[in-house]
Structure 1
Amino acid sequence: MRVVNEEGAALSATITRILVVDDFEPWRRFIWSGVSNQPNLQIVAEASDGLEALQKAEQLQPDLILLDIGLPALNGIEAARRIRRLSPNSKILFVSEHRSIDIAKEAIRAGGSGYLVKSSAGNDLLPAMAAVLEGKHFASPSLDAQLFIDTVTADHSSREDVSGTSAGNKVEVSRDHQVVFYPNDESCIDGFARFAKSAADAGNSVVVVATKSHRPAILERLKKVLDVDAARERGSLIIADVDEVLAAFMKEDTPVAARVDAIARNLIAKAAKGAPTEHSRIAICGELAPTLLARGKTEAAILVERLFDDIAIAHNLDLLCAYVLGAYPSGRHSRILERICAEHSAVHMQ
């Protein structure tokens, strides 16, 4: 709300209450420094993961939420969807290092009014906040100009209201990128088989990217519950080898993004061609990043997770990443595994 004094100057009538959500503490300090000299802006709380963001949004009902995407426990896009119900009057400005137009569109569909690339925050943070608070939209210049034309006008009129009922017929693009930490190989194999069977039972195509040691056992489990030979012949079940896929997109121990994208598109196209119906989803369970991590290639593993997260959003996929905890010396509590968790929409411990 704005009030005008006798001279016609606009005066702010209220303090804008802000919730900052980011798992990187120095970045939260940067936000504080940018906002502290603005008398009408007040940071009322911080959150370092998605679940904490839900709690504080519901408790505080802030006017504005500055929300990162790569968060532990629950990523920012999933958090935004839930915040729409918990704090429907809060405006959301995504502030993320992701530059993918597909991720940005998904963020807007999830409830964001703006998308600010972190590298532009030095100049654009306050203008982005002002635009969103005034009911406008904001996108960093590096993003496609069609971001809001394609996303907001087509989607906001049909998005779910706070009661959860649909206001239109548009189907929102979504993805389910889960990570499961298994205690041993046997439970990992069982988890792959359950995931594949569940997807097949739902009428979806399945891609399994497994290690040489796990593949035979996964197939044996599946043969007990599925007609594996028929599914593979039809193309609705694709089995790929981890080492072959890694060899196709790695260069000097680093994933090449263009190659990852090309290989993923090829697998998705094959699975889509063999899908039972035109409305079938593609479900992928894999050990690409886990294999890299087990071999000590931490940054490569993180990058693969990030690239496949982008691919999942772009192609409306269901993904399951399986990690066997015994393969990693530092176990459950390592910072590395926390970083892995941050790239997923849901985290499970078996």
Structure 2
Amino acid sequence: MIRILIVDDHPVVRAGLTSMLDTQPGLEVIGSASTGVEALEIAARHKPDLMLLDLRMPAMNGIETLQELKKQKLPTRVIVLTNFEMDEDIYRAVQAGAHGYLLKSTTQEEMITAIQAVNQGRRHIPPRIAERLAERMSRSSLTARELEILEMMVKGLTNKQIGSALLISENTVRNHVNSILEKLEVQDRTEAATTAIQQGIISLT
């Protein structure tokens, strides 16, 4: 029997998944949680085999929950179940320790296949998602300073304004901007800002 914990801040999603999975032979939903904090408490207490984890939750999001799960050395394996397929979301989830990545629009059949595969120690990432992950991993990662500057670029700040805010020279900002353009494989600041938002590197919220 594969013991499953469902983690999602929407009650309808939790109820729907519980109802769907509990009727399947070999699967048992041992509980559900609406927050990452609650999920970690249940995981520590009941040691479920597998967690279906939403990415976007208030207070503690899915990535932070994954990181904490790893830090606490809890044995529960995790499939991220989300509406989002942004490159950065996929990359961060896998980096944080997710064993599978599914969209909420996935079929019941694929979800059960993924649960069984991950429970057996394998990864399950659909081909289209895997392709995007491979593309993201092939690009050089932005440094913390570059991310900081990119966020300011998205807000429309000039090199001079960025330099003033970060107490660095305009020339240093220009060098960082050039590096960002190269890593994102874009031609200019506008394209860099658009790409950063589309891929989920920078969030507007």
Q: Does 1:89 align with 2:34?
A: no
Paired residue type of 1:231? I
Cα separation, 1, equivalents of 2:131 and 2:20 = 26
Structure 2 gap ranges (5+)? 175-187
Structure 2 counterpart of 1:236, one-letter code:
V
Matched AA of 1:263 = T
* Structure showing greater relative contact order (alpha-carbon pairs closer than 8 Å, 6 or more residues apart): 1
Indicate the residue corresponding to 2:185 in structure 1: none
Farther-moved stretch of structure 1 (226-235 vs 106-115):
226-235
Give runs of aligned pairs for residues 137-216 of structure 1, distance below 5 A: 137-145=123-131, 147=133, 205=149, 207=152, 209=155
Q: Deviations over 1:26-58 (max 9, x none)?
A: 111221122111242211111112222222222
1:37 paired residue among 9, 23, 40: 23
**TM superposition score normalised by structure 2:** 0.70
Asked whether the equivalents of residues 85 and 103 of structure 2 are also in contact (C-alpha less than 8 Å), the reply is yes
Match of 2:119 among 127, 133, 146: 133
Counterpart amino acid of residue 37 in structure 1? T
Determine which of 306, 310, 323 is the counterpart of 2:200: 310
User: Is the 1:114–1:132 contact (alpha carbons within 8 Å) kept by the matching residues of 2?
Assistant: yes
Query: Is the 1:57–1:86 contact (alpha carbons within 8 Å) kept by the matching residues of 2?
Result: no
Q: How many angstroms apart in 2 are the aligned matches of 1:76 and 1:95?
A: 10
- How do 1:264-283 and structure 2 match up within 5 A? 265=192
Give the secondary-structure state (helix, strand or coil) at the position aligned to 1:105: helix
Displacement over 2 Å in runs of 4+:
85-88, 144-151, 172-176, 204-211, 226-237, 261-264, 306-309
C-alpha distance in 1, partners of 2:47/2:33?
14
Contact 1:57 1:87 in 2 (8 A): no
> Percent of aligned pairs with the same residue?
26
In 2, the alpha carbon distance for the partners of 1:112 and 1:207 equals 30
* Deviation per residue, 1:265-307 (Å, 9 max, x gap): 1599xxxxxxxxxxxxxxxxxxxxxxxxxxxxxxxxxxxxx94
Greater per-residue strand proportion: 1
CA distance in 1, matches of 2:85, 2:169: 36
- Separation in 2, partners of 1:233, 1:101: 30
- Partner of residue 105 from structure 2, selected from 100, 119, 129: 119
Q: Give the unaligned 5+ runs of structure 1.
A: 1-14, 155-171, 177-198, 212-218, 220-225, 238-260, 269-305, 313-318, 322-339, 341-350
1:105 aligns with 2:105: no
| Helix, strand or coil at the partner of 1:265 | helix
In structure 2, the residue matched to 1:62 is 48
1:131 Cα offset (Å): 0.8
Structure with bigger helix share is: 2
Distance 2:189 2:164 in 1: 29
In 2 relative to 1, CA 123–16 (structure 1 residues): closer, same or farther, beyond 3 Å? closer
Per-residue deviation at 1:25? 1.4
Give the greater-gyration-radius structure (CA). Answer: 1
Residues 57, 308 of structure 1: alpha-carbon distance in 2 compared, 3 angstrom cutoff: farther
- 1:52 matches 2:38: yes
State the one-letter code of the partner of 1:81: Q
Count of residues in Structure 1 that have an aligned counterpart in Structure 2: 184
1:236 aligned counterpart, secondary structure: helix
Q: Which amino acid aligns with 1:138?
A: H
Give secondary structure in 2 for the equivalent of 1:143: helix
TM-score of the two chains, using structure 1 as the length reference: 0.44
Tell me: CA distance 1:33–1:51, structure 2 relative to 1, closer, same or farther (3 Å): same
Q: CA deviation at 1:102?
A: 3.1
